[in-house]
Structure formats: C-alpha cells, structure tokens
Amino acid sequence: MAMKLVEAASARRVLRWQSALTRSRGWVCQSCRSNVAVASRRFSSEPPSTPDKPYYVTTPIFYVNAAPHLGHMYTTVLADVFKRWQTLLGNRAFLCTGTDEHGMKVQQAATLAEMLPKKFCDENAERFRELAQLSRVDYDRFIRTTDPDHVEAVEHFWFLLREKGLIYEAKHEGWYSVSDECFYPESQLVKHQEAFTGAVYMASAETKSKVEWVEEKNYCFRMTELRDRLLEFYDRNPGWIEPAYRMNEVVHWVKTHLEDLSISRPAQRLTWGIPVPGDPSQTIYVWVDALINYLTAAGFPGWAPGESHKRGWPADLHIVGKDILRFHCVYWPALLMALDLPLPKKMLVHSHWTLNKKKMSKSLGNVVNPLYAINRWGVDTTRFYLLSEGGIVDDADYNNNTLVVKYKKFLQWGLGNLLGRLTRPKVWKLRDIVVSSFNEDETSRPLLSKTLHQAVAEFEHALSECAPTVAKRMESHNPVGAIRKVLETGTQLNEFLSQTQPWALIKSPDPTQKAAAERVVFLVAEGLRISGILLQPFLPDKAAQLLDILGVAPDKRTFAHTVLRCDPDYGVPRSDPGTSRHDGLFPPLIEDSVVEFSGSVKNRKKATTTDAIVQTEE
C-alpha cells in the first residue's frame, strides 16, 4: 500500500513537470532508446541566468564513518568563500553541505562501535556540523541523507528512471571496494602490498583500496546509452571542469571504462540505506543516494513548473575532491541527462592536503585534526593558511612552521602592522585626514615634489587594479590567487608607508610636506579599507574587525565600495585599535611556537608539523 502511494505521488509530479522540467518524448520502444538518447536535447554548462535564481554552491557530503579531518574543513571553507563572494557582489547565494550517512562503510563502522546505525550517524553528523560552524561556514542547508525529504527525493528519482526504462535487473559480478563504495573493472586493479602487515591483495590502482570479488543480483542503470551524450557534452563544454586537465581524465574514463552502473545492493549484505521502491530485498546504491542530495537541497521533487531555478537549480558550483571526480563528473551528469534535468554549471576539483608529502590517512595515523588547528591558531588563521596555500591543481603539504612564517609575513607584520601604523600614531587623526582629502580641490591642493607625485600616481593606479584583479581571479575559480593578491597589496602598502615616512613629513612647518604626508596616509588608508572589504569572504571575523577599527560603516563594505575615494565617512574607530602588537588585529602567536621569517628559531622551540595531529578517533 505504501509503495502504491509513493508511485501515485510520483506519477502526479511527472504530469505536473512534463511541460516545464522535462522534455516529453512519448513512449519509445526498448530497441530505440539508445538512438533517442543521442538525439536528445543538448545541455549547456552555462544555462541562461535569471534574476530570481540564487547562486548555488555545494560541498560533497561527507561520510560519517570517521571523524572530520583537515580536508573536510578545506572543502567547506572553499565553498564558503564562493558563497560569501557572491554576497559581497550583492547577489543572493545558497550553500549546501552535509553528511552521507548510508552505505556499507557506515554500516560496518556502526557495528564496530556497537551502536545502531542511526544513533551512530546522529552523533557523527553533529561533529561535521560543529566543524562547519567553528570554521565560520555560512551554510544555508546542512543536509543529511537520512533526512525525510531526501529519502523522498531519492525514491522519486528512482521512479523516474524506472519509468523511462533506464533500470533493469541483472546478475552483477565484479571487483568491489567497500572503502570506495564502487565496482572497479579489472583494468583498474593492481596487486598491492600492505605496508605494515606485508599482506598482498588486489586493490584499486587509483585509491589502493582493497577489492573483493562479488557476485550478486541487483539493479543496473543503462549508463552506456548515455556515452555519446556525455562525450558530446564534454566536447562542447571544455571548461566545465576546473582545473582543465581533469577533463582529460574524465573523457578517458568514459571512452575506455564506461559500463552500465550497478545501482543497488542486496539487502542481505547492505541493510543501512534507502530500500528500492517496490523491492525491499534491494538497497539503493549509496552514490546514487548521495548525489541526489544536491537536488534535494534545491527543492526537488517539489518544484512548481518552470520554477526549479528559484531554489537554485542548476547548481552554479560543485566543489569536490579529486578522489570523487568520476562520481561527480561521469555518474552525476549521466543521471541528470537521463531525466533531462539541467547539469551543474561548473565542477571545481581540488587536490589533497598531505602531511610530510604523504596522503593523510587514518590508518597511517597522520590526519590533521581541524578542531585542534582552530583551537591552536584561531579560525581565521587556519582559514588563511588553507586558502592561501591549498592545492587546486597540486596537493598541498600541511606544515605548522610554514603556517607560522606565512602568518608573520602577511598577517602580523603585514595587515596587522599596517593597521596599527595607520590608526595608533598621535601625530595625526585618520578621520581628519579623510575629511581633508574629500574637501580639497585641485586648485587649493599643494603641489607635491615630482618624485612623490609620481610615486603616489603609480600607487593609486596599483590600488585601482586590486579589486578588479581579485574579481577576475574569483571568476576564474582561483581563490588562492585572489587572497594572495590582497595579501600582496598589504605588503606593498607597508613598503609604501616605510618609503615615504609620513610621520616625519607631517611634523614639518612646510605645508607642502604636511600635504604630502596626508596624501600618503589617506592613500594607505584607502588601500587598507579596500583590502579589508575584499578579505571578508576569506577571513570574515578578522576582516570585520579591521573594518571596524578603520571605522567603515557596515553598509559600506560591499564590492561596490572597493574603489578609491567612494567612502567619505570612515576614520572614527568603531572598535579599539589597541596599543601594542599584543592586542592588535593579528597578535604574535604562542611564544614557544614562534619562528622567524628567515626560518631561524626565535624562542625556545619550533612549532612542529605534528602539533595539530590526531592519529585515531578519540
């Protein structure tokens, strides 16, 4: 009876959608389906945008079989930066993150913990939610695959695939990895020797995860029928995946390894998951279940005709790690194409964080605990390090010493020192200089020396290029380049201040010298104000504190205000600028962990790369 209700509800939705979300093709005989798939509507990776569509960015949802690690924090912080960037531009944005709670790995982990699967998931999902909150991730939906609306979305998606004749029953056999939750063709396997035990076993060539031979009856998705459409889509949208070279991996996989996809598992082997509608003897494959979360968060299947965009679909940016490239860039577009649903606009595939050049692994005991890192360095310092050093193209190696060096150079001695030099001197009042700079005109302005005039002009031009350069890098999905540009600007501002020495010029009885000093201070203040605005997506707390100390009003912190001489009202601190380097914006780190910028030890010991490491579950 329950199954009939599900099918009736799904059928009503299909009728409601036919004019808007799907292109009705009528009944097609089984032998013709392959040809129809090729001739079907083509997709663009950049569908026309509409004013009422929010910018939709996602992280992958994370397995709850183990505690969160630094890689999870990096992915969510990356997504947060892109969401906050859109907000800075004045656009509505929606960020979804969450947890993947079904599948064999979770079932086995719950058994080992001697807990019921749901209770196990409840406890561990909360750890991921806590990490997102402590990382200052401004998410709009923390989705769990055990959420009732997600279960409904998966059941409905399955119903639509079945109605299109794209699911069939078969005896399936092959090499299966429980760790990766997928089958591998024999061409993708190698003999692998366990480092600690010396045991030799068959493993995935890519992940080195152990595989076992499985023979079972399950349901399969006719993914091979979509091979030509996938390849055509990749060909027409070469920039769909970034970095671009990842597209070559995807195309190669589709050309050489694509098979129909096993999308269920026998319930006798896997009970923890969503049962196949109408067949409780089978459980829906965890990756089909997981991928649909992006639709669930966007309101699927409850879209009114023609209004899927109002909840964000298609996603503007999926952020994933390189280890789940195939699932997101082959399986996911194939599933969406099967139902004629729009594809996500962009896939950003980042590399991994390593430790001592080795991939982090719980079994090796070399996993960086992000909660320890946040507790030790502070959330914005940890975000700064991840975002400025993180690897999109190549893996990045976590090192506490490097973090300390970068912190001192760009934050403590960079932006922090600059803010103190600007707001603490007794020889000038920043507010008076701002007012004077907006009140003066060309006729009353004292002439600067030729050398200083040229230096000021060149620096004004450099500052005018800062925001456009950052914007261009963000549009190119290069947050590393974007934050580095802001930090480099801070370094240049400090150098400009040191070279011109306005604190000496302003004491001169010569009005020209005093005018020169005020021009320099104002220009540096403008550069710092613009830098603070641009830093908001990256370091939300510290950027807000910086702008408060400068006295920038909350309604004048948008991207539109990142141009010179657009805010005449700042200069009166909204919070205390402090009196020394110890109570400034970026105070010195813990004394026994300080390393000089040159690399020499300043105090009792260096920070070590293992200070923020947890080897196993607590």
On the question of pLDDT at 395 being above 90, the answer is yes
Token match 């979509």: residue?
Answer: 226
Q: Give the pLDDT confidence score for residue 20 in this predicted structure.
A: 36
- For residue 66, what are the contacts with CB-CB under 8 A and spacing of at least 6? 109, 362, 617
Query: How buried is 197 (Cβ within 10 angstroms: 0-12 exposed, 13-18 middle, 19+ buried)?
Result: exposed
Contact yes or no for 329/323 (Cβ under 8 A): no
Q: Which of 77-86, 113-122, 407-416, 586-595 has the lowest mean pLDDT?
A: 586-595
Taken in order 118, 122, 123, 124, is the CA torsion positive or negative?
positive
Q: CB neighbours (10 Å) of residue 604?
A: 9
pLDDT digits (tens, 9 = 90+) for 36-90: 333 333 333 344 457 789 999 999 999 999 899 999 999 999 999 999 999 999 9
Q: What does DSSP assign to residue 210?
A: B
In the prediction, which pLDDT does 504 show? 86
The whole-model pTM stands at 0.84
For residue 614, pLDDT beyond 60: no
Given this model, what pLDDT does residue 501 score?
87
- Among residues 16, 79, 90, 4, the alpha carbon closest in space to that of 561 is found at 90
Which carries the bigger pLDDT value, residue 429 or residue 45? 429
d(C-alpha 286, C-alpha 304), whole Å: 28
Contact 296, 178 (CB under 8 A): no
Tokens representing residue 563 in the block: 């141009």
pLDDT tens sequence across 228-262? 999 999 999 999 999 999 999 999 999 999 999 99
475: left (phi over 0), alpha (psi -120 to 50) or beta: alpha
Sign for the CA dihedral angle at 349, 353, 358, 360 comes to: negative
Listed in sequence order, the residues at least 6 apart from 538 whose beta carbon sits closer than 8 Å to its beta carbon are: 81, 383, 384, 387, 479, 482, 483, 486
Identify the three-state secondary structure at position 359. Answer: strand
Q: Is-contact 547 533, C-beta < 8 A? A: yes
Per-residue pLDDT for 187 more than 90?
Answer: no
Q: Which residues have a Cβ under 8 Å from the Cβ of 279 and sit 6 or more positions away?
A: 219
Q: Evaluate if residue 510 carries a pLDDT over 90.
A: no
More confident residue, 534 or 23: 534
- Which residue has 């604190």 as its token pair? 503
Look at 342 and 579; give whichever has higher pLDDT.
342
Give the 3-state DSSP-derived string for 166-205, with helices as H, strands as E and coil as C: CEEEEEEEEEEECCCCEEECHHHEEEEECCCCCCEEEEEC
Nearest Cα to Cα of residue 80 among 479, 424, 352, 418 = 479
Angle ∠(349,311,472) on CA atoms, nearest 5: 45
Residue whose tokens read 């009885």: 509
Has residue 399 got a pLDDT over 70?
yes
Which CATH number is associated with domain 44-350? 3.40.50.620
CA distance 107 to 120: 9
Q: What is the pLDDT of residue 443?
A: 57
152 with 138: CB under 8 angstroms?
Answer: no
- Give the range among 222-236, 297-311, 526-540 with minimum mean pLDDT: 297-311
Residue 290 predicted with pLDDT over 70 = yes
Q: Express as a percent the part of the chain with pLDDT over 70.
A: 80
What's the pLDDT at 616?
33
CATH 3.40.50.620 domain position(s) in the chain:
44-350
Q: pLDDT tens-digit profile of 474-499?
A: 999 999 999 999 999 999 999 998 88
| 222/236 Cα distance (integer angstroms) | 23
Whole-number pLDDT of residue 433: 93
Q: Which of 146, 217, 206, 145 is nearest to 177 (CA)?
A: 206
Mean pLDDT, rounded, for 180-197: 67
Decide if pLDDT at 599 tops 80: no
The pLDDT of residue 7: 52
Per the CB < 8 A criterion, the answer to whether 289 and 154 are in contact is yes
pLDDT band at 181 (very low <50, low <70, confident <90, very high): low
Task: Give the pLDDT band of residue 508 (cuts 50, 70, 90).
Answer: confident
Q: Are strands 347-350 and 241-242 parallel, antiparallel or unpaired?
A: parallel
402-614 carries CATH number 1.10.730.10: yes
How is 97-115 classified by DSSP, letter by letter? EEEE--SHHHHHHHHHTTS
Q: How confident is the model at residue 362 (pLDDT cuts 50, 70, 90)?
A: low
Mean pLDDT of the 365-384 span: 92
Q: Can you read off the two tokens belonging to residue 117?
A: 């699967």
In 3-state terms the chain splits into helix, strand, coil percentages (rounded to 5) of 50, 15, 35
Q: What pLDDT is attached to residue 8? A: 47
Q: Tokens 């509507």 belong to which residue?
A: 41
Who wins on pLDDT, 604 or 326? 326
User: For residue 202, is pLDDT > 80?
Assistant: no
Tell me the average pLDDT of the chain: 85
Looking only at the bridges linking them, the beta strands covering 141-144 and 264-266 are unpaired
CA distance 200 to 220: 31
CATH 1.10.730.10 location in the chain? 402-614
